[in-house]
Structure 1
Amino acid sequence: MMKFNRIFILLIVLLLIQKICNSQDLTIKFTDTGKSFKYKLPSNKYSDSIFITKTLHEFLLPLYSKGYLSASIDSFYFDSTLIRAYGIMGSQYRWMRFRVDSISQFWFNNFGIKIPRNEDKIINPERFTRLANTITKKLEDSGYPFAKVKLDSVKIGRDEVSAILRLDKESKILIDTLYIKGDTRINYKHIMALLSLKKGELYSESKIKLIDQKLKQQPYLSIIKPTEVEFLSHTARVYCYLNNKIASRFSGLAGFYNDKKDGKIKLNGNLNLLLVNAMKNGEKINFLWNAPGKGVQNLDIESDWPYIFASQMGVTGSFTLYKHDSTYITINPKVSISFFSQNRGRFLLNLDYKKTSFSAINLAQESRYSNTSALLYGIGYEFNSLNGFVLPSQGLYFKSSLNTGTRKLNQSNKSNSNLIEGEIFARGYIPLYENRLILSLISNSKIKGIYNSKVSMKLYENEMYRIGGMETIRGFNQEEILSQAYSIASAEVHLRISEGSGFYLFADKGFVKVYESVKNNDAWPLGLGIGLNLVTKSGLFNLSYALGDGFGQSMSLKDAKVHFGISTVF
C-alpha cells in the first residue's frame, strides 16, 4: 500500500513538472517607466505571432481602464518557452473638464438620464462606453432609434483631457402600421396586443427585438422569416411573416373492466382535447378526463383567454372534479385575471374555491376524510422566455402563486381555520451543443397548511395533493402518493436527432411530506429513467421507462414503470 502511495505521488509531481516545463513565460517591459510584468501562459498556444499580438493587446486593456490611454507594445520576440515584449506605458490621463452642452442636458433631464461628474477622475474608456450605451438604449426605446452620443471639442494636454458630451437624437419615429404577411388566421387586434404595439406610439427597439421571441411561443403560429422594419421619414412600418400552424390536439384511450366490489362492468381510460386558437383570438381550451380504474375519475377543464378586447388583460379559468369511488368527491373551480407585462410575463389575481364531500361508511374513515370547503384569494406571476411551445431548446418558464383564505369544516361546529397554499414551478432549457444536446432543469414545489390559534387542526386525506407519475416524479404510479407538501428537482439531458424528436435521460429527486395512516412522514424518493420523444406530422408520441426508489418500492426492474402519451394534431 505504501509503495502504491509513493508511485501515485510521484506521478502527480511529474505531471506538475511537465506542465510547468511546457508553459511559456511572458514578460512585458515598459521602457519609459522601467516597470515589468510577468505572466505564465499555457504552452504551444502562443507560438504564432498573430496569437501573441492578440494576447498582448488583451494585457493592455487593464491599463487602458486605469487611464493609460497611450500604452502600447512596440516590439516582441518569442521562442517555445519565452515571450518578451517591450512597450511604452505613457501618461495616466484624467478629465480636466467633462461637461454636457445645454441642449443635450435638457434632453438628458427629460429622459431621466443622469450624467455623473468626471472632473479630475481617471479616464476609463469602458465606463464611457457603458454610459453611451445606456443613453442610446434609453433613446432607442423612447422614439429615437438613430440617436448617437459623441465627444466634441476634445482637447488633449500632457496628462489631461477636456471634452463636451453631445447628443444627436436624429428624427423622432412613431409606429405606423403592422403588416402581417402569410396565411395565418388570427385577429389583427390580438396580434397588436400580443406584441404590445399601438399605432402612433413611440418606436421602441426593445419591443421590436421581442417580436419574434413572442411569436415563437405561440403554438398556432409559424414564422416564415424574421420580422422586418421599414423606416420612413418620421414613422416605422413593421412586417411580420406568419403562417398558420396546427396546434389543437386530441388523444384518447378507453376500455371496460369488471369491478370486483360490486360485480359491475365499468369504463376506464383517458381523453384529452386541447383546442388552440379556434376562435382566432389565441385562446386555449383544454378538456381532460381520466379514469385509471378502482372507482377513480378525474375531470379537468381549463381555459386561457389572453388580451381580451385587445387589451393587456386576460382571463384564465379551470374546473376540476375528482371522484374516489363512492368515498368522496372534490370540486375545485378557479378563475384568475391576468395583467401582461412587456417582458413576456404576467401578473395574476386569483380566486380559488375548493369543496370536498364524503360519505362515512365506518368510524375509521371519519378520521381520514372530512367534508370541507375553502375560499382562497391570492396573487401569482408567470414568465415565459422559451423558444418553442411543444419541445423548446432554450429559455425559462416560471410560475408561482400564493393563495390564502378560510377553510370550513362543514360537518361539525369546530372553529374555522386559515388555509394557505403556495406553488413555485420552474423549467429551464440550456443548449449544451447547438440544438442537439440540451440540458433541462425542473423545480416543482407545492405546500398547503392550516392554522387556528384556538384548536389544533389537520388536513384530511381528501384535501391532500396527489402526486406520482409523468407530471411530478416518475417511476411511481400515477397520483398514488398523498402529500401536504413536496419539492421535486429534475434534470433531463436530451439528445435531439431531428427537430423535436430524440431520446433523453432523466433523474427526479424529491422531498415529500407523505400522508400515511393519518400522519405525515418525510420521504426522499428518487426516480431514474430514459425516455423518447417522437414528433410526426400527425402528432406527438412520448414514452418513458422509469425506476423508482421510495414509498416501499425498490430500484428494481420488477417495479419499473412505463409512462406514455400519444396525441394527434388537427
Structure 2
Amino acid sequence: MHKTSYLVIIIYILFSFEGECQDLHLKIYGETEAETAIIDSLQYLKKHNDFVSIKSEVDSLQNRLFKIGYIENNIKEIIKINDSSFHSRLSLKRKFNTIYIHYNNSVTDKSTLSLISDNVFDNYFELEFYTIGDALNQINSIITQKGYPFSKLYLSDIIVNNKQKLTANLVIETKEKQRTINSIEIKGYEKFPRSYLKHYLKIKPNQTFNLDRVRNRTKLLNDLNFANQIKSPEVLFSKDSTTLYLYLEKAKSNNFDGFLGFGTNEETNNLEFDGYLNLNLTNNLNFGETFKLLYKSDENDQKTFKTDITLPYLFKSPVGIDLQLQIFKKDSSFTTVNQFTKLHYQINSKHKIFAGIVNSESNNLLNQNTSASIIDYKTSYYSFAYEYLNPQNTSRLFPIKSRLYLESNFGTRKLTNESQKQSQFTIDAFKIFNLNLKNSIYTRVNSSILNSDTYLENELFRFGGITSIRGFEENSLFSSLYGLINTEYRYQLSNSIYIHSITDVAYFENKVSNTKEKLFGYGFGFGLLTKAGLFRFNYANGKLENQKFRLSNSKIHISLTTNF
C-alpha cells in the first residue's frame, strides 16, 4: 500500500513539473497578409516560458516597428488559443520613411547637419526615419566636441501635418557656457615634461574640452618609452573651471646593449673575438632628452666611437635638435670624423621630419700613401630625413612593430685641389607581421647609395655583422651601393622566450675596386627575456654567391640588452 502511494506521488510530481515547464508558443498577425509578412521579417521570439515573456516580446516588437517608421502601430489583442498557444494582432497602419526636422539655425549650423543629411535647408532638414537615433547621437557628439559636455538634444512636437508629412522640431539645450580646459594636473609622475602635453599629445590649457579626444590622445602616452598611463584621465567640473587629471608613472627607459662575437680567422685559424657596447640614457633630466654612446671594436682592427644627443621641444617650441659625433678608425689606414646637427619636428606620435647639416673629415694615416684611393677629404651636406615609428605595447619581446627611416644628403666633397658634387640616399625599414599570438615574420630592408663622379675608399659605406648581414665580420664590407634584406621566422615559446630562423640576402657594389657581389647568410637564434634584460644568441653562416658553405665562415653572436 505504501509503495503504491509513493508511486502515485512521484508520477504526480513529474507530470506537474512537466506541465509547469512546457513551452508557450506565440504567433503575431497583422491586419493583412502584407503586414503579417513584415512582422515575420523582424524575426520575433516565438517560444516563451510564461505570459510575462510573451507580453514583453510583443512590446519589444512594437518598439522595433516604431524605429523603422510604423509610429502609429498598436496592439489589437493578445488572446489565449489553448494551454500552449497565444495569438496577438497588431495594426501597423502607415509607414513613414522620411521625417522633416525643423531647427534653429542660430544654434545649429548647416555644416553640422550636412554630416548626417544630404538634404539640408535654411530651417529644416530631411532624414530617413530609421537613421534618427544614429543621427541625433552624431549631432550630440559634435556638440560635445565643441565644449558642451552636458548638452541635451531631443525631438519635440512630432506630428503629421496637413500634407501627411511627419515633422518635428530639433531641441538643443546648452544651459552652461562652453567648457575649456583651464588646468592640467599630473598625478604620480609630477616631473613629467609638460612640453609633451602640448606638442606630443596636443593637449593644453584654454583648449576646448572634448573628453573623447582627451582619452584618445592620452593613450599615446604608452608609446613613450619613459612614461606610462596607469589610469584613465579624469575631469573635475566646477562652476567656473574644468580641471583635467592625468595619472602617470615614470618607466625604466635606460638600456645597455652589448654583444660578444667570435669566429675563426681564415689566415691564422685562431679564434678571434669582437663586440660592442651601446649605452642609451633617456629622460634622466625629466626633459625627454636622449643620450646615446656607442663603442665598437672588431676583429678587422676597426674601431667606432659614436655619441648622439637628442633634445626635444627646445624652449617649449615644437622643434627639437639632434647632435651627433662619430669617429671611425680603420687600423693604421685612416680615420673619419662625422658631425651632424639636425633640427626635427614631431608631426605626431608616429611621424617625425629632420633637416640639418652633416660635415665629415677623413685623414690618411699611412706614412707612405700606398693606396691612391685613400686621400684626405672634407664633405659638407645638407640633410633631410623622415622617420615613422609604430610601437606595439602589448609585446615585451618586440616593442616596435614597424619603422621606416628615409634620409637624403646633398653637398660637396673637397680634396686638396678640387671639389665635387655628391649625394647620398638611405632607407632603413622593418615590419613585424603577426600571424597569430605565437608566430610572426620579421622583415627588414636596408640600403644606401653614394652618387659621385669619383670614389675614395675611406668614404665608402661599411656594413656586415649582427646589425646588417649576419654571418659576416663586423664592418668588413665596403661599398658605394648596397642593399640587404633580413628575414626571420619567429616562434614564441612563451612571453619571455622565442626562437627564430635567419635568412639574409645582400647585394653591394664597390666602385673603388670595381667589384659586385651577392651575399647570403643563413642560421638560427633565440631570445630570452631575463631579469637582467633581453639575452640574444645568433648562429649564422655567410657566403658569397659562387662560394660553397664552410663551417669556418660561421659566426656566433651573443648580446644582452639591459633596461634600468
2:220–2:349: 8 Å Cα contact kept in structure 1? no
1:395–1:430: 8 Å Cα contact kept in structure 2? no
**Residues 241-252 of structure 1: pairs in structure 2 closer than 5 A:** 241-250=247-256
Matched to 1:447, the amino acid is S
Instruction: Tell me the CA shift for residue 397 of structure 1.
Output: 4.2
1:482 aligns with 2:483: no
Instruction: Tell me the CA shift for residue 248 of structure 1.
Output: 2.4
Matched to 2:445, the amino acid is N
| Match in the other structure for 1:240 | 246
Instruction: Tell me the CA shift for residue 446 of structure 1.
Output: 3.1
| Match in the other structure for 1:541 | 535
Deviates more, 1:120-129 or 1:236-245: 120-129
1:394–1:431: 8 Å Cα contact kept in structure 2? no
1:382 aligns with 2:383: no
Q: 1:317 aligns with which of 317, 320, 323?
A: 323
| Match in the other structure for 2:293 | 287
Instruction: Tell me the CA shift for residue 224 of structure 1.
Output: 3.6
Q: 1:561 aligns with which of 551, 555, 562?
A: 555
CA 420–550 in structure 1, closer or farther in 2 if over 3 Å, else same: same
- Which sections of structure 2, spanning at least 5 residues, go unmatched? 1-31, 38-44, 48-63, 71-91
CA 187–447 in structure 1, closer or farther in 2 if over 3 Å, else same: closer
1:338 aligns with 2:323: no
1:92–1:159: 8 Å Cα contact kept in structure 2? no
CA distance in 2, matches of 1:103, 1:165: 12
**Residues 26-41 of structure 1: pairs in structure 2 closer than 5 A:** 32=34
CA distance in 1, matches of 2:484, 2:538: 21
Instruction: Tell me the CA shift for residue 202 of structure 1.
Output: 1.7
Instruction: Tell me the CA shift for residue 282 of structure 1.
Output: 1.8
Q: For 1:208, what is the secondary structure of its paired residue?
A: helix
| Match in the other structure for 2:332 | 326
Deviates more, 1:319-328 or 1:95-104: 95-104
| Match in the other structure for 1:405 | 410
2:257–2:279: 8 Å Cα contact kept in structure 1? yes
Q: 1:530 aligns with which of 495, 508, 525?
A: 525
**Residues 343-362 of structure 1: pairs in structure 2 closer than 5 A:** 343-359=349-365
Matched to 2:411, the amino acid is T
| Match in the other structure for 1:13 | none
Q: For 1:518, what is the secondary structure of its paired residue?
A: coil
CA distance in 2, matches of 1:237, 1:485: 55
CA 492–222 in structure 1, closer or farther in 2 if over 3 Å, else same: farther
CA distance in 2, matches of 1:294, 1:380: 31
Q: For 2:436, what is the secondary structure of its paired residue?
A: strand
1:303 aligns with 2:309: yes
| Match in the other structure for 1:177 | 183
**Residues 145-544 of structure 1: pairs in structure 2 closer than 5 A:** 145=149, 171=176, 172-182=178-188, 186-187=192-193, 194-205=200-211, 207-233=213-239, 235-250=241-256, 270-359=276-365, 365-367=371-373, 369-388=374-393, 391=396, 396-413=401-418, 416-428=420-432, 430=434, 432-433=436-437, 437=438, 439=440, 441-450=442-451, 457-483=453-479, 484-488=481-485, 490-495=487-492, 497-498=494-495, 501-515=496-510, 518-519=513-514, 521=516, 523=518, 525-536=520-531, 538-544=532-538
1:175–1:203: 8 Å Cα contact kept in structure 2? yes
Deviation track 1:106-157 (CA, whole Å, cap 9, x = no partner) reads 3x55999696327999949679948964x56655554344567766665679
Q: 1:103 aligns with which of 106, 115, 130?
A: 106
CA 233–327 in structure 1, closer or farther in 2 if over 3 Å, else same: same
Q: For 1:366, what is the secondary structure of its paired residue?
A: coil
Instruction: Tell me the CA shift for residue 362 of structure 1.
Output: 7.6
Percent identity among equivalent residues?
16
Deviation track 1:8-37 (CA, whole Å, cap 9, x = no partner) reads xxxxxxxxxxxxxxxxxxxxxx974999xx
2:389–2:402: 8 Å Cα contact kept in structure 1? yes
Q: For 2:215, what is the secondary structure of its paired residue?
A: helix
Matched to 2:234, the amino acid is E
CA 359–220 in structure 1, closer or farther in 2 if over 3 Å, else same: same
CA distance in 2, matches of 1:461, 1:90: 90
CA 103–462 in structure 1, closer or farther in 2 if over 3 Å, else same: same
CA distance in 2, matches of 1:213, 1:492: 30
Deviation track 1:532-562 (CA, whole Å, cap 9, x = no partner) reads 13231x3332222334454566566554332
TM-score with structure 2 setting the length: 0.68
Deviation track 1:207-231 (CA, whole Å, cap 9, x = no partner) reads 5234553332333334443433344
CA 404–220 in structure 1, closer or farther in 2 if over 3 Å, else same: closer
2:151–2:174: 8 Å Cα contact kept in structure 1? yes
Matched to 1:401, the amino acid is L
CA 448–93 in structure 1, closer or farther in 2 if over 3 Å, else same: farther
Q: For 1:209, what is the secondary structure of its paired residue?
A: helix
Instruction: Tell me the CA shift for residue 450 of structure 1.
Output: 2.1
RMSD: 4.9
Deviates more, 1:481-490 or 1:303-312: 481-490
CA 519–182 in structure 1, closer or farther in 2 if over 3 Å, else same: same
Instruction: Tell me the CA shift for residue 320 of structure 1.
Output: 1.1
| Match in the other structure for 1:53 | none
1:495–1:504: 8 Å Cα contact kept in structure 2? yes
CA distance in 1, matches of 2:260, 2:217: 42
Q: For 1:143, what is the secondary structure of its paired residue?
A: coil
Deviation track 1:365-411 (CA, whole Å, cap 9, x = no partner) reads 324x4444332223333343414499465764434334332222414
Give the number of the structure whose alpha-carbon radius of gyration is greater. 2
Matched to 2:296, the amino acid is N
CA distance in 2, matches of 1:296, 1:386: 34
CA 238–112 in structure 1, closer or farther in 2 if over 3 Å, else same: farther
- Which sections of structure 1, spanning at least 5 residues, go unmatched? 1-29, 36-47, 51-63, 71-88, 452-456
Instruction: Tell me the CA shift for residue 466 of structure 1.
Output: 2.1
Matched to 2:343, the amino acid is I
Deviation track 1:248-295 (CA, whole Å, cap 9, x = no partner) reads 23456899xxx9x9xxxx997533322222212121101111111332
Matched to 1:117, the amino acid is N
2:99–2:127: 8 Å Cα contact kept in structure 1? no
Matched to 2:447, the amino acid is K
Instruction: Tell me the CA shift for residue 323 of structure 1.
Output: 0.9
Matched to 1:493, the amino acid is R
**Residues 63-78 of structure 1: pairs in structure 2 closer than 5 A:** none
Relative contact order, higher structure (CA 8 A, sep 6+): 2
Matched to 2:508, the amino acid is K
CA distance in 2, matches of 1:183, 1:199: 19
Matched to 2:559, the amino acid is G
CA distance in 2, matches of 1:315, 1:336: 6
1:273–1:286: 8 Å Cα contact kept in structure 2? yes
Deviates more, 1:329-338 or 1:388-397: 388-397
CA 380–318 in structure 1, closer or farther in 2 if over 3 Å, else same: same
